Structure 1
Amino acid sequence: MTHEVELKFRIPAHRLAALRRAVATRSARPLTLAARYMETPDGDLGRARVALRLRQEGDGWVQTLKAEGRVALQRLEHNVPLPDEATPALDIARHDGTEAGARLREVLAGARQATLREHYATAVQRTCRTVRHQGALIELALDEGEIRAGGLVLPVCEIEFELLQGEPAALLGLAAAWARRFELWLDVRSKSERGHALAHQAQQPGGSAAQAISRPARPRALTLPGTLGPQAAAAAMLAEGLQQALANASQIADGQWQPEHLHQLRVGLRRLRSVLRLHAALLPGLEPALADAVAALFQRLGAARDRDVRAAWLWPVLHAAGGPAIAQPEPQVDALDLPAWLTSADTQQLWLRLLALTLPGAVLSAGAEARAAGQGTAKALRQALRPPLHSLLRQLRRDARAFATLDDAARHRLRRRIKRLRYAAELSASLWPARRLQALLDALQQAQRPLGVLNDAVVAAAHCRALAGGQPEAWFAVGWLAARHEAAVAACSAPMAALAEVRSPWAD
């Protein structure tokens, strides 16, 4: 049983030749890989982010099971070399007694049909090289080939950095240097995840490889063991938000995405920003410039999200209300803007710097970390996390009581703080009394919804007022949005009253 620690990057076409030369040194090893990935008829393994395969590696076969780990650079992995056979049979019992095997059994136990069959296949030419960096031994694996499902094919062109010995920080350092040198971009989607998406398209009438899009990654429940030290707990919460952000960013960076990917990317960034803001004291490697860089990326993504909202809601509803047509309501935006931002060198270095902050929770087990830190009680962990949460809730209560006197900017600030507390509370939910925490989360969600409607009206009105300077027709939209603004403010009254009186789940 191993915890595989690796990072995978996609390679721009114009840098592939140079990368090949850098990997294919005299000590490099070529290896031909052909794998068959298994799945249930209903796709249970893919939904659970579990991969089960039989792979021919040169002249031998290996059965491998992989499952998602706690952070983006770590996965559960169990490999079983098989006796020499022409076509070995799959046997899930080979993984029994391992953490990944228990996860597989759990998924299959909940499946409507647990029969496993080949779902898709890969054919890859791998070039491997091991290097030493900062005292660590790291394997570089350049993979070129394809994923096949039905009659559809997806190309594979990626490089993996896998830690064989040493500290994960060394892996991040080497990956950062190669990413700068070869313009690599981080893709946390595995071949398995891409294969599941391709197989789904192969089953659709008229499905195409271009439409093989991974599902948007949504928030997951996080359990913080009471034996975890405060720094590792903060790192684990940060890692959970980062995992969600990276999964959605990877799909957008690939050039094909849905509005929900952008929404969930922003949710993931909000979750990790909540940890950066509220628990900064527990993240000793955090620099102010890093939080500023996350905020800058979030703001750029916000402009793209506002365009999506106007396209999906504002212009259709104005048309339905009988408003005059507004010529070119949106500026012409290059369709590559989002992928370009997310694959840029600055963004790649930002992801790696954030991953470095997650290492305390990724490397040490809860028990080992507790022993190393000389602490490890649930009470100590709650005492470390409680003060900023309780302070923010008091601030929200004050703003909720004064809501009628706040201007739009202050109301938007209140909305951001509500989200910050909601995400931070959800990430540490396993530590607090369930009933009182759920009452708080309900109150926060009830307040957040009408504030979101209000904010959309405010942002859209500002956009339409800017358009009205050259297009008088846009004044209809400004008036219509003013009425919506008044209704949205009124709809906030009851949720604000409830938020002002909600009990704290963190009170002593």
Structure 2
Amino acid sequence: MENEIELKIMLKAENVEALADWFTQQNVLAQATDILGNTYFDTPEQFFAQSKMGLRVRNHNQKYEMTLKIKGEIVDGLHIRPEYNLPLASYRPDFKRLNSHFNLQIPQAEQIAQQLSPTFSTDFTRRKWLIELNQSQIEVALDQGMIKNGFGEEAICELELELKSGSLTDLLALLKQIPRQDGMWFSNLSKAQRGYLVGQAVKFKQQISKAIESSSGEALLQQLADYIRTVEQDLEVLDCFNQLAGLQLNSWTEAKQYLTSKAYFEENLAKIEQRLAKN
């Protein structure tokens, strides 16, 4: 088991190459480009989605690895969560073996294993740089590709900064050095979460309505922001966001522009810095 600690930043395509050039100029220990094929599996009742987990099989150069990601802490684009990795002989998941190997004690693991079927895919090209900063090593991954399920497809264009060794302070220091511009924003949505929601606006709205009833504060604010950036106009959600954020955004278009702006990125960066300073 590993604890994955990473920051996730969504990008507009026009920002990609300038950022790639900037990372290449840092203290790079290694860099590579990989083509990754990922299939996510779930039961008919969506056991993993309901449990806020993700089960995938990744194909990299005909080598297969199964990964189970467990719900952790996700705030302001900072993802801290446990994950379990197991090599496979083929693309077929072996959840029963993973459950046993890591002594996860998930009830009805054998029944879950028998019911698994492909739910969606995330296929992308990953450019990555291993950067050394002070005494820390940080892997930067720039992903471009597609999420596809039975309801539609959606582009992947995102940046992940993962702390491989060292301190969160250095991860934050690298983040603060990245050139900032409009069309960059922190997101709490993982690829797996997006995979369950592509082409299903009604399902996404149901999740947001449930969050409005049960959540509050910064966690709810970030969920509303992800929703506004993703779907078409919903004035009820915009009103809720305005009240919670203390803003007066007058239209859905204005809200989307604000939530993908350099100014909003910097506001969230300041929140991340404050949160890490308390730890």
Q: Same fold (TM over 0.5)?
A: yes
In structure 2, do the counterparts of structure 1 residues 220 and 334 end up closer, same or farther at CA, with 3 Å as the change threshold?
closer
Q: Which has the higher helix share?
A: 1
Would you say 1:184 and 2:184 are equivalent positions?
Answer: yes
Q: Kindly tell me: are residues 12 and 65 of structure 1, through their superposed partners in 2, closer, same or farther at Cα, counting changes over 3 Å?
A: same
Q: For structure 1, which runs of at least 5 residues remain unmatched after alignment?
A: 202-209, 223-239, 270-297, 305-332, 364-508
**Given residue 243 of structure 1, which amino acid in structure 2 is its aligned partner?**
A
2:257 match:
340
Deviation at 1:49, TM superposition (A): 2.0
- Do the aligned partners of residues 58 and 263 (structure 1) sit closer, same or farther apart at CA in structure 2, a change above 3 Å counting? farther
CA 1:96–1:221: 2 relative to 1, 3 Å: farther
Kept in 2: contact 1:23–1:142 (CA 8 A): no
| Identical counterparts, % of pairs | 24
Which structure carries more relative contact order (alpha carbon 8 Å, separation 6+)?
2
**Per the alignment, do residues 246 and 257 of structure 1 end up closer, same or farther by CA in structure 2, a change over 3 Å counting?**
farther
Q: CA deviation at 1:252?
A: 1.5
Quote the residue 1:350 is aligned against: 267
Contact kept, 8 Å, 2:66 with 2:93, in 1: the verdict is no
2:92 aligned to 88, 92, 96, which one? 88
Instruction: Identify the residue that residue 245 of structure 1 maps to in structure 2.
Output: 221
Q: Deviations over 1:393-434 (max 9, x none)?
A: xxxxxxxxxxxxxxxxxxxxxxxxxxxxxxxxxxxxxxxxxx
The answer to whether the aligner puts 1:38 opposite 2:14 as a matched pair is: no
Corresponding pairs, count: 270
Q: Is the 1:23–1:127 contact (alpha carbons within 8 Å) kept by the matching residues of 2?
A: no
More strand by share: 2
- Residues 71, 358 of structure 1: 8 Å contact kept: no
Partners in 1 of 2:213 and 2:166 — Cα distance? Answer: 30
- Structure 1, residues 352-403: CA drift from partner, whole Å, max 9, x if none? 2222333377x6xxxxxxxxxxxxxxxxxxxxxxxxxxxxxxxxxxxxxxxx
TM-score by length of 2: 0.81
Query: How far 1:144 sits from its partner (Å)?
Result: 0.6
SS at match of 1:349: helix
Residue type of the partner of 1:22? W
Deviates more, 1:149-158 or 1:113-122: 113-122
Partner of residue 22, structure 1: 22
Deviation at 1:174, TM superposition (A): 1.8
Normalised by the length of structure 1, the TM-score is 0.47
Q: Do the aligned partners of 2:54 and 2:68 also contact (CA within 8 Å) in 1?
A: yes
1:161 aligns with 2:175: no
Q: 2:178 is paired with a residue of what secondary structure?
A: helix
Q: Which amino acid aligns with 1:345?
A: K
For 1:77 and 1:260, the matched residues in 2 are separated by 36
1:264–1:53 distance in 2 versus 1, CA, 3 Å: farther
Deviations 1:418-469 (A, max 9, x none): xxxxxxxxxxxxxxxxxxxxxxxxxxxxxxxxxxxxxxxxxxxxxxxxxxxx
Change (3 A) 1:90 1:171: same
3-state DSSP class of the match of 1:49? coil
2: CA distance between counterparts of 1:221 and 1:165? 36
What's the counterpart of residue 129 of structure 1? 129
Partner residue in 2 for 1:254: 230
Quote how far apart the aligned CAs of 1:266 are.
6.2
**CA apart distance, 1:348:** 1.4
- Superposition deviation, residue 259 in structure 1: 4.5
1:41 maps to a residue whose letter is P
> Cα RMSD (Å) of the superposition?
3.4
Partners of 2:196 and 2:172 lie apart in 1 by 28
Point out where structure 2 has 5 or more consecutive residues left out of the alignment. Answer: none
State the Cα deviation string for residues 322-347 of structure 1 (Å, max 9, x = none). Answer: xxxxxxxxxxx554211122222222
Q: Secondary structure at the match of 1:32?
A: strand
